[in-house]
Amino acid sequence: MTALRTDHVAVVVNTGSRRGADALAEVTARLHEVTGRLDVLSVPAGGDVGGALASAAAEGPDLLVVGGGDGTVGCAAGLVAGSGTVLGVLPLGTANDFARTLQIPFALDAAVSTLTHGKVVDIDLGRVEGWPFLNVASVGLSVGVTQHLSPRLKRRLGPAAYPAAALAAYRHHRPFAARLEFPDGDQQPLEVEDLLQISIGNGRHFGGGNTVSPTASLDDHLLDVHAVVRGRLRDHVSIARLLRTGHLVEHDLVHHVTTQRLRLVTDEPMRVNLDGEVVTTTPAEFTLERNTVHVVVPVHSTAAQWDGAGH
């Protein structure tokens, strides 16, 4: 744990997210009380969230508060990684898996209180060809799920939109083959055919509260890799039942390894989903930056600790 400075605070709120418009006034009023300089940027639906975050981060604030979903928070994390800026999170999206992992409360009042009364920890950041991710990167079924997760569906169903989209994506899924290579030599290469999905987890939760593995952590300096072989429908029902606890890693149709670096080659180029944002394609290299993002979390949070960058 290290002290949280708030001499200069920047706030970027995606008001197009589920609760963004409601959050902006409260967080601005509360933070005015604790800082000498407060920069506030409101990004409407369809606005340039990435541009607003880059502009705010470039000013070098002590604290960058981000209000939005996991994709927005992941973009911010990539911008402040390795800097002295601490990341503050208002979980305003549908899944909020990053906040869930770090035990940041979803209730707005409690989340704002965390910004002023919390502690600072450091976490690992995943990257794919330079693109950042906090929770999980994946290819296969998850890309179809993202395509079916329309804003309308998320507004109507909330977290229940994820299983609904997964069922729709499953009906149109095409199996694929892949080779998993480990440039650091910490695992043997793995070739797998007839795949449903490959997931590379940095954090603990994904998909609205599913668990990467029983031991996954945002500061364990490891990527958890799952390669899920396509089976019968009843096989995937049994896997789905294990998603909440992370014990899917024990299923016969799931190959699970941990590593610090992965190169993924698929039989044909496939799109890569990073925390709900489809941004690149395979072949791709997945890497890990240790202790590179500093985040303010509740004092009671046990999900990560302060080690200091680079340790």
Do 131-289 and 8-123+292-297 fall under one CATH topology? no
- Select the more confidently predicted residue: 285 or 45: 285
pLDDT tens-digit map of 152-164 = 666 665 666 666 6
What pLDDT is attached to residue 167?
Answer: 62
Q: What's the CATH number of domain 8-123+292-297, 3.40.50.10330, 3.40.50.720, 3.20.20.80, 3.40.50.300?
A: 3.40.50.10330
Mean pLDDT, residues 63-69 taken together: 94
Closest by CA to 108, choosing from 91, 85, 84, 129, is 91
**pLDDT tens-digit map of 84-111:** 999 999 999 888 999 999 999 999 999 9
Q: Confirm if 43 and 16 have CB atoms less than 8 A apart.
A: yes
The answer, yes or no, to whether residue 66 has pLDDT greater than 90, is yes
* Cα of 228 vs its chain's centroid, Å: 20
pTM of the model: 0.89
Residue by residue, DSSP assigns 205-260 as: EETTTEES-TT--TTSS-EEEEEEEP--HHHHHHHHTTTTTTGGGGSTTEEEEEES
Give buried/exposed letters for 240-257 (b at 16+ CB in 10 A, else e): eebbeebebbebebbbbb
Euclidean distance between CA atoms 48 and 59, whole angstroms: 18
Q: How confident is the model over 209-251, as pLDDT tens digits?
A: 889 999 999 999 999 999 999 877 777 678 778 888 999 889 9
Q: Does the structure show a pLDDT above 90 at 16?
A: no
Tokens 């911010």 correspond to what residue?
76
How far lies 32's CA from each of 15, 46, 115, in Å?
Answer: 19, 28, 12
**268 flagged as catalytic:** no
Q: How confident is the model at residue 143 (pLDDT cuts 50, 70, 90)?
A: confident
Q: How confident is the model at residue 266 (pLDDT cuts 50, 70, 90)?
A: very high
303-309 average pLDDT score: 83
Q: In the prediction, which pLDDT does 141 show?
A: 79
- What is the torsion angle, in degrees rounded to the nearest 10, for the CA atoms of residue 89, residue 262, residue 130 and residue 58? 40
Residue with tokens 């990053």: 98
Tell me the fold of 131-289.
Tumour Suppressor Smad4 (2.60.200)
Tokens 């998320």 sit on residue? 154
Let me know if 130 is exposed, middle or buried by CB neighbors in 10 A (0-12, 13-18, 19+).
exposed
* Helix, strand, or coil (residue 112): helix
Residue 166 has pLDDT above 90, yes or no: no
Work out the number of other CB atoms within 10 angstroms of the CB of residue 150: 11
- CA–CA distance, 204 with 190 (Å, rounded to integer): 24
Mean pLDDT of 265-288: 94
Residue 136 has φ and ψ, to the nearest 5°, of -145, 140
| 198 contact partners, CB below 8 Å, separation of at least 6 | 138, 139, 140, 178, 180, 225, 226, 227, 228, 264
Q: 212: Cβ–Cβ under 8 A, 6 or more apart, which residues?
A: 136, 199, 201, 203, 204, 205, 206, 224, 226, 246
Q: Which of 181, 277, 285, 289 is catalytic?
A: 277
Domains of the chain by residue range:
8-123+292-297, 131-289
Rounded Cα gap, residues 308 and 306, in angstroms: 6
